[in-house]
Amino acid sequence: MAKILIIDDDQDIIDTLTMILENSGHTVITKQDTDNLLNDVKASRPDLIVLDIMLPEDSQAGFKAARALNKDAEVGSIPVLILSAVNQRSNLAFGFSESDISTDFLPVEAFIEKPVEPQVLLSKIEHLLYPG
């Protein structure tokens, strides 16, 4: 089973995700902000990162973190699953879909909108960890 890092400022979301993932045999480590993220990821070496976009420090902290991770040679290959209640696509449009995923705009492997259906989450994670 895999080691999964969850980054979300909402403790309730962390708790429910942890419950679902641990129940499926995964090991979960958590963070509530993106401070010192690169070093933490290098130290803990997760197999997958579940990342919220709107964090208290910045409404686009998740975006920035995803781009930073993507550019890093050491951890850039770790798959990132974006998880958010609401995101801003333009001045008036909210909400992403997986069609928005691209190297420039959303450099992640998958996107899930909160609230998370356990089966959807597990299936996405399975797909990211064991593609093909």
Partner 1 sequence: MTGLFPKDSKALLDEKADVYEEGLRTTEMSERSRWFTQTRWYATGLCFLGSLWAALPSLNRLHKCTIDYRYFLAVAILLAVSNLIYVRVERAVTVCQPSKEQMCRFLGIQMLTDFMALSLLTYGLGGVETPILILFLPHIILSALFFSRSDSFIITWFGIFFAALPMVLEYLRLVSTLSIFDEAHKVSVISSNGIITSGYILGIAAAFLVCWYLVSDIASVLLLRERQLGRAFNRLKLLDQEKSQITLRATHELKAPFAAIKSYVYTLRDGYCGVLPDKAQQVVVRIGERCDMLMEKISDIIHLSNLRTATQANVGLTETDLMVIIPKELEDARLIGKHRGIEVQFRSDKMACPILASRDHLSTMISNLLRNAVNYSKDGGVVEVSLEAAEGKVLLHVRDHGIGIPAEHQSKIFEEHFRSNNAVRFNPNSSGMGLALVREIVRLHNGDIRVSSQLGEGSCFTVTFAQLQ
Residue 90 engages partner 1 in binding (rule: CB under 8 A): yes
Distance (Å, rounded) from C-alpha 108 to C-alpha 66?
A: 7
Residue 54 engages partner 1 in binding (rule: CB under 8 A): yes
Residue 65 engages partner 1 in binding (rule: CB under 8 A): no
**CB of 115: closest distance to partner 1 in angstroms?**
3
13-41 CB burial, b ≥16 within 10 A, e <16: bbebbbebbeeeebebeebebbeebeeeb
Lateral strand order in the sheet of 110-113: 27-31, 3-7, 48-52, 80-84, 110-113
**CB of 123: closest distance to partner 1 in angstroms?**
13
Of 12, 25, 43, 130, the one binding partner 1 (CB under 8 A) is: 12
Question: For partner 1, which stretch binds (CB under 8 A), given 41-49, 64-72, 92-100, 124-132?
Answer: 92-100
Angle (CA) 46-4-50 rounded to 5° is 105
Question: For partner 1, which stretch binds (CB under 8 A), given 6-14, 40-48, 72-80, 123-131?
Answer: 6-14
- By CB under 8 A, name the binding residues for partner 1: 10, 12-13, 16-17, 19-20, 23, 54, 59, 85-86, 88-94, 114-119
